[in-house]
Each structure stands twice: as structure tokens, then as C-alpha cells.
């Protein structure tokens, strides 16, 4: 029991500790693809340290929402890390506190608060980004629900750990046509949800075209650090769900081995899986152009259709 609580907290520590690294590796890989050298992969840590040391400036006109939003944005992924299989295949202490819908709700809660804070800041670009995020959000949420429900149908449970165990156990389900479709739909969702190309350019500096980034423009000092860190952790958590539950459910500490060494061994394996995925992500981001704003509905529409076809084929051809 105590061991399980310990491992659960270890998972949270891994998410908090390695999320900036993933961001750094992603930035570096992108620069390498563009034939540049790019900053060190540890640059996000330095940025965070610098921002945490700096003073914070808050507009006199803004309310408590603006001041609390960074904390919500930081803690939401931390709570999610308690619920999902980051390192172990067996359910840990908090695993049954919330299911995959819970994961979705907690992430959506963080996103909602950040959007409110963007409106609260009074910066004209903030509300614009917030409303665009909501537009993308309401198009992607049905897809999230369908993907999660179809996955749950397979495992007969909505708890991420049990779903993960199911993929490991039955190779027939793993190779089924609808599994590929679900994986692709979820990949499109990650791109849309995390503000990646072709939906939003994460490295762009042009305010009028921003979706994701414009919401944290007004933050400085500690607030900016927490927003940045929270965003990195959100990507990390989404990747963990995508890789550990859906695409490559292997390499986690198994139920037979509950020693600390086994759990620690899972850390490099998970990071290695992420590295491979980041290369794929960089290829996607480097080969696609940004979509016009009203074309985003086509992108998410495609994700929706793929998810529903997956569900139909799961329901009828099982």
C-alpha cells in the first residue's frame, strides 16, 4: 500500500521533472531538421529557473482568476499523472480515483481556467486566443469522448491501467483495424489540443495568428514559469496516454516485479518511446503548413470521422 502511494508520487515526480526535457528535445529536433544547431535540450529548465527568480507583474485591473490560473494550469496535469499508467502496468494507489473521462475533465478544467484568465487579462490578443481555443476545443471534445468510449468498450473498463493491460494481453485486438483508426484519431487530437501544426504554430511569434500561446502573453515571472511548465506537462501527459495506453503499451514495470528497480527502469524506456514519437511529431510539424482558421474544422472533422468509423467497426465487426 505505502509502496503504491510512493510509486504514484514517483510518477508525478517523473512527469514534473521530465516534461521540460521533452519540450527541449522537441525544440532541438526541430532546429536540427531545419539545418540549424538550436539551443541545448536543457534550455527549458534554464528558462524556468530564470522566470522563477524574476518579479511578477500583475495588472491592477485583473481579478483573482488571473492570479490563480497558473496554479490551476500547473496542478491539473499533476492530478492527471496520478491516474494514468506512467511507469507501472499494475494500478497504483490513486488509479481508481478517476477514469479516462476524469482525465479529460481535469485537463479541460485547467484549459478552461487558462481561457478565463486570458479574457481577464484585458490584453486584446488574450480573448481572441481564448475564443479560438474554445472553438478548437468544442470540435475536439466529441472525438475525445468517442475515442475513449471505444477504447473502454474493448477493455470493459474506463480505467486507463486496465485498458493498457488489455492491449498488452490480446494481440488480436491490438492489430485490429479499428485500433489503427483510433490511434490516428488520437494523434490528430494531440496535434489540435496541444496547438501543434497544422492547427496552430507553437513557435510562431505573430500575435494575430496565435491560438495557444496568446493566452499566456500577459504573464511574467513565476506566473509565466508555471504556465510554461504546465503546458509542457500537459503535452507529456497526453503523450503518456497516447504511447503507454494506446500505441506501445510495453516496457512498463510489470505486475510480477514490484521492486523499485523495475519501476526506475521503466523511466528510460518511456522516455525512449517519447523520443521516437517526438521524431514523428517533428516530421509532421516540419512537413505541414498551418491551416487557415476555418479549415481547422476540416481537420477535426477528419479526426471525428475516423473515430466514429473506428467505433462502428468495433461495434459491428467484433
Partner 1 sequence: MPSTSLLLSIEALAAGVFLLTALGTVAARQLLTCFHLFVWQSLLLSASAALLGLALSSPHLLAVAAITLATKTMLIPWLLRKTVHDEVYRIREIDQVLNIPTSLLLALALAGVGYVFFVEMLGGMAVPAYALVNLPIGVAVLLLGAFTLTVRREAVAQLLALLVAENGVFFAGIAIVPNLPAIAELAAAVDVPVYTLVVGLLTRRIHSELGTTMVGRLTALRED
Q: Under the rule (CB under 8 A), what is the footprint of partner 1?
A: 171-172, 174-181, 184, 297-298, 301-302, 304-306, 308-309, 312-313, 316-317
Residue 96: how many CB atoms within 10 A of its CB?
12
Torsion of CA 44, 49, 53, 58, to 10 degrees: 30
Q: Which is nearer to partner 1, 22 or 154 (CB)?
A: 154
> CB 169 → partner 1: shortest distance, Å?
14
> CB 212 → partner 1: shortest distance, Å?
23
Are 192 and 303 in contact by the 8 Å Cβ rule? The answer is yes
Are 199 and 135 in contact by the 8 Å Cβ rule? The answer is no
Q: Which is nearer to partner 1, 96 or 138 (CB)?
A: 138
Q: Which is nearer to partner 1, 257 or 298 (CB)?
A: 298
> CB 302 → partner 1: shortest distance, Å?
5
Q: Which is nearer to partner 1, 261 or 289 (CB)?
A: 289
> CB 166 → partner 1: shortest distance, Å?
16
> CB 145 → partner 1: shortest distance, Å?
16
> CB 139 → partner 1: shortest distance, Å?
10
* Three-state secondary structure of 156-185: CCCCHHHHHHHHHHCHHHHCCHHHHHHHHH
CA 173 to chain centre: 25
Q: Which is nearer to partner 1, 146 or 225 (CB)?
A: 146
Q: Which is nearer to partner 1, 265 or 293 (CB)?
A: 293
> CB 141 → partner 1: shortest distance, Å?
17
Amino acid at each position: 500500500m505505502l509502496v503504491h502511494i510512493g510509486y504514484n508520487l514517483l510518477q508525478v515526480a517523473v512527469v514534473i521533472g521530465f516534461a521540460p526535457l521533452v519540450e527541449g528535445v522537441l525544440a532541438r529536433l526541430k532546429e536540427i531538421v531545419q539545418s540549424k544547431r538550436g539551443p541545448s535540450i536543457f534550455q527549458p529548465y534554464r528558462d524556468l529557473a530564470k522566470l522563477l527568480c524574476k518579479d511578477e507583474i500583475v495588472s491592477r485591473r485583473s481579478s483573482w482568476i488571473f492570479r490563480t490560473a497558473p496554479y490551476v494550469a500547473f496542478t491539473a496535469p499533476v492530478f492527471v499523472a496520478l491516474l494514468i499508467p506512467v511507469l507501472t502496468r499494475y494500478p497504483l494507489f490513486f488509479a481508481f480515483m478517476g477514469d479516462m473521462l476524469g482525465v479529460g475533465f481535469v485537463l479541460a478544467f485547467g484549459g478552461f481556467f487558462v481561457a478565463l484568465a486570458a479574457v481577464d487579462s484585458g490584453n486584446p490578443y488574450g480573448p481572441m486566443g481564448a475564443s479560438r481555443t474554445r472553438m478548437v476545443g468544442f470540435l475536439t471534445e466529441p472525438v475525445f469522448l468517442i475515442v475513449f468510449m471505444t477504447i473502454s468498450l474493448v477493455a470493459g473498463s474506463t480505467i486507463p491501467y486496465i485498458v493498457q493491460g488489455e492491449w498488452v494481453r490480446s494481440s488480436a485486438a491490438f492489430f485490429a483495424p479499428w485500433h489503427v483508426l483510433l490511434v490516428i484519431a488520437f494523434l490528430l487530437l494531440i496535434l489540435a489540443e496541444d496547438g501543434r501544426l497544422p492547427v496552430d504554430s507553437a513557435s510562431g511569434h505573430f500575435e494575430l495568428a496565435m491560438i495557444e500561446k496568446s493566452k499566456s502573453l500577459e504573464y511574467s515571472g513565476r506566473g509565466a514559469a508555471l504556465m510554461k511548465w504546465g503546458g509542457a506537462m500537459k503535452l507529456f501527459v497526453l503523450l503518456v496516454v497516447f504511447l503507454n495506453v494506446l500505441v506501445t503499451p510495453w516496457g512498463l514495470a510489470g505486475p510480477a516485479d514490484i521492486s523499485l528497480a523495475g519501476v526506475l527502469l521503466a523511466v528510460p524506456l518511456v522516455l525512449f518511446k517519447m523520443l521516437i514519437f517526438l521524431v514523428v511529431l517533428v516530421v509532421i510539424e516540419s512537413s505541414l503548413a498551418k491551416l487557415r482558421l476555418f479549415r481547422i474544422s476540416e481537420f477535426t472533422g477528419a479526426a471525428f470521422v475516423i473515430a466514429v468509423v473506428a467505433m462502428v467497426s468495433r461495434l459491428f465487426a467484433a
